[in-house]
Amino acid sequence: MKTGANIDSTAEIGAGCRLSRSCIIGAEAVLGEGCAVGEGAIVYDGTVVGPGTSIGDYAVIGRKPYRARTSAFDRTAVDLPATRLGRDCIVGTAAVIYRGSSIGDYVVVADQATVREDVSIGENTIVGRGVCIENSTGVGRYCKLETGCYVTAYASLGDHVFIAPHAVTTNDNFLGRTEARLKAMRGPVIRDGARIGANATLLPGIEIGSDAVVAAGAVVTSDVAPGKVVMGVPARIRGDVPPEQRLEEHIADTEKKLTDRPG
């Protein structure tokens, strides 16, 4: 551990941690054994970081949210719990993880990604470069959210969900007009094993069934049944997911790869 780091006297730093000279570790923050914190990174007060986790240069962990005067969300201060990162996570350069989020073990949050408050992410999930996960959202285990996709507030993603680059989810059918929208905001529900293609758009409140596929560029305006393939604008059913692409086959392959992988 480098002594030049700005470490609050109440922080707990585990054995074998590697801290850059310019990082900041806040009050009552906890870093498990073998963590690494890069140049200019900030770990805010109370944040708990599991052993072996690496935090990249200029990443920000555990910052409190702020609200614009015109925000649809409550501008008052909220008592969010401290951010928690699991063991052996990787947080990329300039990534921002807000206070009140819970990140499971072995999660990757890549460069410039944003994870807002009140978000949970399950183990072994990959959050790609520039991905934005908005507040009050749950993301399951073994998901892959690829470069630049947008996960709206109040969305729910199951396990083994795949979202391709620049896919977009939405939660407001009123497009920011009328107070009625505040009671009707709902993100999509994406069930286990569903896959969303590049540049697809999911409208508010719809459900994508387990193992369903949304083709690239589709605009999904209604629920998609489990195991179906939809495409087009608006999206229509075009067939069934092939047996060899079913979730049970994918899970077996993933578990084998993890078992065979050293460490």
Tens digits of residue pLDDT in 47-82: 999 999 999 999 999 999 987 766 666 544 468 999
Rounded Cα distance between 51 and 33, Å, is 5
Residue with tokens 């947080």: 91
- Work out the average pLDDT over 29-36: 98
Q: Would you state the pLDDT for residue 184?
A: 77
pLDDT of residue 198: 98
141 vs 27: CA distance, rounded Å = 30
Average of per-residue pLDDT across 173-188: 81
Residue 255 has pLDDT above 70, yes or no: no
pLDDT computed for residue 77 by the predictor: 46
Greater model confidence, 75 or 161: 161
CA 140 to chain centre: 9
Say whether pLDDT at 254 is over 80: no
pTM of the model: 0.92
175: left (phi over 0), alpha (psi -120 to 50) or beta: left
Report the pLDDT averaged over residues 232-243: 96
CB atoms within 10 A of CB 262: 3
What are the Cα distances from residue 10, in Å, to 29, 31, 60, 80? 8, 12, 19, 20
Q: Is the pLDDT of residue 196 over 60?
A: yes
Tell me the percentage of the chain whose pLDDT exceeds 90. Answer: 80
Q: Using omega within 30 degrees of 0 as the cis cutoff, is the peptide bond preceding 234 cis? A: yes
Q: How confident is the model at residue 230 (pLDDT cuts 50, 70, 90)?
A: very high
- The domain locations on the chain are 6-64+83-260
Quick one: average pLDDT of 244-249?
88
- Residue 76 has a pLDDT of 46
Better-predicted residue by pLDDT, 76 or 151: 151
Q: Mean pLDDT score of the chain, rounded to an integer?
A: 92
pLDDT in tens, 103-150: 999 999 999 999 999 999 999 999 999 999 999 999 999 999 999 999
The domain 6-64+83-260 belongs to what CATH superfamily? Hexapeptide repeat proteins (2.160.10.10)
pLDDT, residue 75, reads 45
> What pLDDT, on a 0 to 100 scale, did the predictor assign at position 72?
63
What was the pLDDT predicted at 175?
A: 77
End-to-end CA distance of the chain: 24
Q: Is the pLDDT of residue 87 over 70?
A: yes
Q: For the chain, how many residues are written? A: 263
